Amino acid sequence: MVGLLINRLLHAVAVLFGVVSVTFALLHLARDPLAGLIPPGAAPEVERQIRIAYGLDRPLPEQYLDFVGHAMRGDFGDSWRQGRPALGAVLERLPATLWLTAVATVMAVAVGSFLGVISAARPGSPWDIVARSTALLGQAVPAFWLGTMLILLFAVALQWLPSSGLQGPPGVILPALSLAAYPAATLTRLLRASMIETLGADYIRTARAKGLSRSRILIEHSLRNAALPALAFTGLQVGFLLGGAVIVEGVFAYPGIGALALDAVAARDIPLVEAFVWVVAVMILVVNLLTGALAMLLDPRLREDGLKLGGAAS
């Protein structure tokens, strides 16, 4: 088991190294990193001093090695615009984004599980048609368009909820709905297909022959086994939600790391962009590790495979 844990941690470190390397390459290939800082028409001497001040006068391989060495420790230097540690600026906004992501995940799991179960319980019924139609609509509607429509309806027309910012618990409802629509729709379709396949298994027919109630068969037997693919999908979708929060937070002027990243990209604040990508990558890796551990708790076969792998690694 210890060997399996070490293997996963080494894999996480390798992924993090790849993320920071790709981030460095893309930011330097896009444009001159100082394009937004050098005043138009500045003298060559002024431009040279600015490059020296930000360490961009050195050869690119040297800049890369220095960046990776510091980034793997979570050190991205000071934000070029804010003049304070870039990682600290991101972590200051992180709780708001985590709150939004948590609420959106709960919404997606609750709605997707409910629609998936009632759809699989009676295929072809009106409930099934409504659930599948809702899922199709949720997958087809972009989050930014849905967010705009929700603002017009609930904030402007009905005035039930705030249209922007984080004004107490109600302020997170509309952004979370916009963010949760796509994963809830996909989870509905995934869980429906998985449960229909599970309901045709031999052990389900045995449970019916024993006289177990329909609800008990659905929840205790079918849903538990069908939930494994849905659980893996949910773990992946947390990363999607963290990334999708960039657009949704921009629509709702939500004070999270997504809005901060949009401002940093517009201002060409390279350290802030790098810190944002690093934080999101770490969060996704942590969620994937937790999802894998939870899947092992639900499925004994995964625990046995993990023990075998851990024994082979040690």
Q: Is the dihedral of CA 84, 87, 88, 94 positive or negative?
A: positive
Tell me the pLDDT of the chain (314 aa) as tens digits. Answer: 556 667 777 888 888 888 888 888 887 777 677 766 676 777 778 778 877 877 777 888 888 888 888 888 888 888 887 888 888 999 998 888 888 888 998 898 889 888 888 888 788 888 889 888 988 888 888 888 988 899 999 988 888 888 877 777 788 889 999 988 888 888 888 888 887 777 766 666 676 776 666 666 666 666 666 666 776 677 777 777 777 778 888 888 888 888 888 888 877 788 888 888 888 888 888 877 777 676 666 665 555 555 444 444 44
Under 8 Å between Cβ of 202 and 259? no
Rounded Cα gap, residues 218 and 224, in angstroms: 9
The pLDDT value recorded for residue 301 is 58
Contact 274, 71 (CB under 8 A): yes
Contact of 187 with 112, CB cutoff 8 Å: yes
Give the pLDDT score at 247: 83
Look-up: residue for tokens 């603002």? 151
Per DSSP, helices labelled H in the chain are: 2-30, 44-53, 60-71, 86-121, 126-140, 143-150, 173-199, 202-209, 214-216, 224-252, 257-266, 270-298, 300-313
Q: φ, ψ for residue 39 (rounded to 5)? A: -60, 145
CA 141 to chain centre: 18
Q: For residue 85, list its beta bridge partners.
A: 78
pLDDT in tens, 182-222: 888 888 888 888 877 777 666 666 767 766 666 666 666 66
Roughly what angle, to the nearest 10 degrees, separates helices 173-199 and 143-150? 120
Q: What is the Cα–Cα distance from 223 to 202, expressed in whole angstroms?
A: 15
The CATH number of domain 86-313 is 1.10.3720.10:
yes
Whole-prediction pTM:
0.74
The residue whose two tokens read 């510091």 is 70
